[in-house]
Structure 1
Amino acid sequence: MGSVAALYRYPVKSMLGEAVSVATVTESGIRGDRSHAVLDGTGAVGSAKHPRKWGELLRCRSVRGDNGSVRVVLPDGTALEAEDPELDARLSELLGRKVFLSATLPEHGRLERAVPEYEGGVPDVVRRSASVDATGTSITTGSVAAGTFFDFGRLHLVTTASLARMRAVHPAGDFDARRFRPNLVVDTDGAPGFPEDAWPGSRLRVGEALFRVVVPTPRCVIPTLGHGELPPDPGIMRAVAREHRVPVFDLGRLSCLGVYLDVLEAGTVRVGDTTTLC
């Protein structure tokens, strides 16, 4: 069916991550992925899904050492270990309020999402329940996946076919895979369209690991933001909303690109590994 074109992990939620050639997949996802998050005193989990409040996190990069340590590279190039008390002070300065880096999920952690103007960005029922916060942003509030800093599935996959399709229908857009923050980029050998639309409910063997394909991935505003050297591109998600709105559970037709995966069998995954639907 295809092969692994790229592997990514993001040690700190909503910071830039790192490309890796080999990843250890556990029952909880790729080892070291979203092991930490930036929190504030209200219990909010730092997510660039609310760009006015947390978007500056995308100017930072997080990397994981061989010994499991996490290091954050700040916008000015300063690199600090997760345990360094100076890091909290620097992140607070960057975000304009007191925040701290944590590997522990707060008891009542909240995830805030800006409501996009385009249709299909959030379910209609959720849009109707949105409220305007102190930043002047219309937001919805939910929770992260139980016991984790993930939004939903344990891994996120995008295909080269979907990215190619979007480039074809919106040539002005920058559909670099990194904008969509995948763990796995799968080269589908020239398959047309959005082949992953047919995968939910299937099993996917990737290297030694086995996954269950859960659901298409609804997209938020994050792909439109600047990611390191990738500049902002506000047209990205409007194009996805025009081209690819698909049913997600009972939430209606949402703007999607990629799929969420859960882990059935742990194992090692490498760039170049074959991917096979079971």
Structure 2
Amino acid sequence: MARVAELRYYPVKGCAGVSVERAELTRAGLAHDRAFMVVDEGGVFRSQRRDPLLATVRPVVEDDGRLLRLAAGVEPVVVRVDSDGPRREVRLFGAPFLGIDQGEEAADWLSEVLGAHSRLVRVPPEHDRVTDGLTPGTSGYADSCAVHLLSRSTLDGFNALSGAPALSADRFRPNLVVDGWPEPHTEDLARRIAVGGAELGYAKLAIRCAVTMVDQSSGAKVGPEPLRTLARYRRAAAGGVAFGSKFAVLRSGSLRIGDELVVADWGPSEL
């Protein structure tokens, strides 16, 4: 029997995740997931690909999303969230979106931590992004789809093959970690999943990038794993290496650790 083993959301894109026992799953993913994004002076998003120190920023959402606390190696800052201010154009993988700037204090704090001019923006209420894949959906500032799902058997299978010190799930930044599927990569085959009153629809494989080579505690680049091992056995036909799968939210609901996952529809692997 497959069950939810971990739930994690990432309030600020590229920054540390928050592990929870329960969470609301909205059409855009777990509540507050990737609701904020760090951008450079031109409005282009910052990522651990170029700015691995983002991993050291620990965000905490407070007062039902009205406050955002940011902590790192300097004095923490508490941001009073502006959800109705002027919009500015931002760019995510070259695509234009809008963001609400969160002010000078947040910008100065992030610029000090990252050592580069930075600003913090929030997804505006009218954000209507359409994500791609077999099942279309929406998300905040996530790379693509609303939910990234990874099974423990998939992670265990990788660790058995790599011959390197075992990696934990946080290196891959999933939203849901599932226990109970005995075969690795079962998530690649699940097309429709019911869990905790919610429903997920398979969108696509999760193609991995250099972010997986960043230690999520220190913000240091410590590759070549996992990409070196994944390149041996998880090359995707469309390019890159795949690990875990992305899902759109078909029906919102409440999730908690221990919830059972019921797969209503299966399909072939796209690998």
TM range (shorter): 0.7 to 0.9
Q: Distance in 2 between matches of 1:157 and 1:25?
A: 13
* Contact in 2 for aligned 1:173/1:236 (Cα 8 Å): no
The residue identity in structure 2 corresponding to 1:238 is: R
Q: Give, in angstroms, the shift of residue 193 of structure 1.
A: 2.6
Q: Percent identity?
A: 29
Q: Match of 1:65?
A: 62
Cα 1:224–1:174 change in 2 (3 A) is farther
Correspondence 1:3-152 to 2 at 5 A: 3-48=3-48, 50-51=49-50, 54-68=51-65, 69-76=67-74, 78-83=75-80, 85-104=104-123, 148-152=140-144
Q: Distance in 1 between matches of 2:149 and 2:9?
A: 12
Q: Deviations over 1:77-127 (max 9, x none)?
A: x3212247433212112223321111047xxxxxxxxxxxxxxxxxxxxxx
Q: Distance in 2 between matches of 1:146 and 1:39?
A: 21
Superposition CA RMSD, Å: 2.0
Q: Match of 1:215?
A: 204
Q: Match of 1:226?
A: 215
* Contact in 2 for aligned 1:5/1:186 (Cα 8 Å): yes
How many aligned residue pairs are there? Answer: 228
The residue identity in structure 1 corresponding to 2:150 is: V
Query: Normalization by structure 1: what TM-score?
Result: 0.76
Q: Give, in angstroms, the shift of residue 272 of structure 1.
A: 0.4
The residue identity in structure 2 corresponding to 1:80 is: V
Match of 2:232 among 242, 264, 275: 242
Match of 2:160 among 160, 168, 171: 168
Q: Give, in angstroms, the shift of residue 171 of structure 1.
A: 2.9
Q: Give, in angstroms, the shift of residue 41 of structure 1.
A: 1.9
Match of 1:181 among 147, 150, 173: 173
The residue identity in structure 2 corresponding to 1:236 is: P
Query: Normalization by structure 2: what TM-score?
Result: 0.78
Q: Match of 1:132?
A: none
Q: Give, in angstroms, the shift of residue 59 of structure 1.
A: 1.3
Q: Give, in angstroms, the shift of residue 198 of structure 1.
A: 1.7
Gaps of 5+ in 2: 81-102, 125-136, 265-271
